[in-house]
Amino acid sequence: MKEDCILCQIIEGKIPSEKVYEDEYILAVLDINGANPGHTFVIPKEHYTILEQVPDFLVGKLFSIANRVSSCLFESLSMHGTNLLVANGIPAGQIAAHFMINVVPRNENDGINITWQPRKVSEEEMSTVEIQLKEAAKNIGGFETKGDAEQVKAEEPQSIAGEDSYLLRQISRIP
């Protein structure tokens, strides 16, 4: 835990919060200054500043919980959509120095604007970026081992939605 981190203080109970979900590794809390009612942030209980510092097994758990919180927002608040947002670093808009996944409930015409102006990339720039990225990505997946996968599977969190969940009902409607 980091003493000057507001999210670590929330985790330690020094700052009151409305907890939506909690397990050994993760806490999901309503954002008091959220974009819409139900805006929730999902955070690791251990302090990590950015995504790249979070252990791989925990990244999967964080996104799994964010997905389930999103389903609960659809179900309980009758939302029309959600945005899952990660501001990873100050240039990306990260304000708190603690990794988090924002689960933002959305309704049509809610006034939240999460868009950008498309920028046409030249063929030369695209080719250069492709070469650089392919080189950097050669070892993606090399960190995963069978033991890592078994650990994640063994630590799979329990469902936070009931058997009669929004997600299950939506799947049953697929032709």
Query: How far is residue 169's CA from residue 64's CA, in Å, rounded to a whole number?
Result: 19
> What is the identity of the amino acid at 66?
A
Give the predicted TM-score (pTM) of the model: 0.77
Query: Based on the number of CB atoms within 10 Å of its own CB, is 51 exposed (0-12), middle (13-18) or buried (19 or more)?
Result: middle
DSSP 141: T
Picking from 87, 79, 97, 5, the residue whose alpha carbon sits closest to that of residue 39 is 79
Q: What would the pLDDT profile of 119-161 be if each residue is shown by its tens digit?
A: 899 999 999 999 999 998 987 876 555 455 555 555 554 445 4
Write out the two tokens for 157: 């969190």
pLDDT of residue 151: 57
Q: Give mean pLDDT, residues 20-26.
A: 96
Outline where 78-145 has alpha helix (H): 123-136
Domains with residue ranges and CATH for the chain: 6-113+120-164 (3.30.428.10)
Average pLDDT, the chain: 85
